A = this chain, B = another copy of it.
Amino acid sequence: MQQILERTLAANIPERIAEQIRDLVARGRLPPGVRLGQAELAVQFGASRMPVREALKLLCAEGIVVHDPNRGFFAAHLSSEEARQLFKLRHLVEDALLAGIRRPAAAELERFAQRADELEELLNGGERAGWWVRHREFHQSIFDLSPEKLIVREAMRLWTLTDRYRSLLPLPQRSSAERTLVRKHELVEALAATDRRKVLHVRAERRRQFERLVLDVLASRNL
């Protein structure tokens, strides 16, 4: 089970570990409520308990891990109530953010289109693993068109928090996935036309669709 630290851009160990754990949680690999033993994780990541501890504290601050003092760290539980509030915040923050994005340069537009194509490829290839991270990157790069960096960070934090709920969702159907991709290209076109209203609208619709799916699943499981 010895899982090695994958090479990433982050220089320091705690962040790398946090990234890994975040991913494991997001992909449902570490189910909600599970105990996150420090020693166990330490050997899994080939580090000592201290960086692991710091990573857990980080995730704790992000809200995807909870910490009972003297008892330990646990993967945070999911609830429809939390989901609702998270989405409410996301709607507020992302709408405000997208309302103020600048027009992308030609090279950036190129890159957006390219990324949208990549996403299409990944989807056709049936790879679900890489999909969500690329998906996230794609939208982050859109957010980055805003000069309000602090708000962008906030938006991404909320994105991460809601992302945990994706693991609940069934695999996206082929048809719905295609609809999503159409929307992505719609988005790129809107960006090209500097049609902020359109960008905002497309994103908001997508977000609300996601929200509906999540809340439905949660309701059906009495969470």
Contacts and interface: CB of A to CB of B under 8 A. Distances in A.
Interface residues of A, number: 24
Given A11-B69, A54-B54, A148 B88 contact: yes
B12 A86 contact: no
Contacts of A12: 69-70
Interface in A34-83: 50, 53-54, 57-58, 61-62, 69-70, 82
Contact of A88 (B11, B57, B82, B96): B96
A54 B149 CA distance: 26
Nearest to A92: B92
A151 interface: yes
A2 interface: no
Given A58-B57, A62-B61, A69-B12, A89 B93 contact: yes
A150 B61 contact: no
A186 interface: no
Nearest to A61: B61
A85 interface: yes
B89 A154 contact: yes
B86 A150 contact: yes
B54 A150 contact: no
Contact of A57 (B57, B89, B96): B57
B148 A85 contact: yes
Contacts of A85: 148-151
A172 B210 CA distance: 47
B151 A88 contact: yes
Interface in A9-25: 11-12
Interface of A: 11-12, 50, 53-54, 57-58, 61-62, 69-70, 82, 85-86, 88-89, 92-93, 96, 148-151, 154
Q: Which 10 A-B pairs have the closest CB atoms?
A: A61-B61, A85-B150, A92-B92, A12-B69, A85-B148, A85-B151, A11-B69, A57-B57, A82-B150, A92-B96
9 contacts: A11-B70, A50-B50, A85-B149, A85-B150, A85-B151, A86-B150, A88-B148, A88-B151, A92-B93
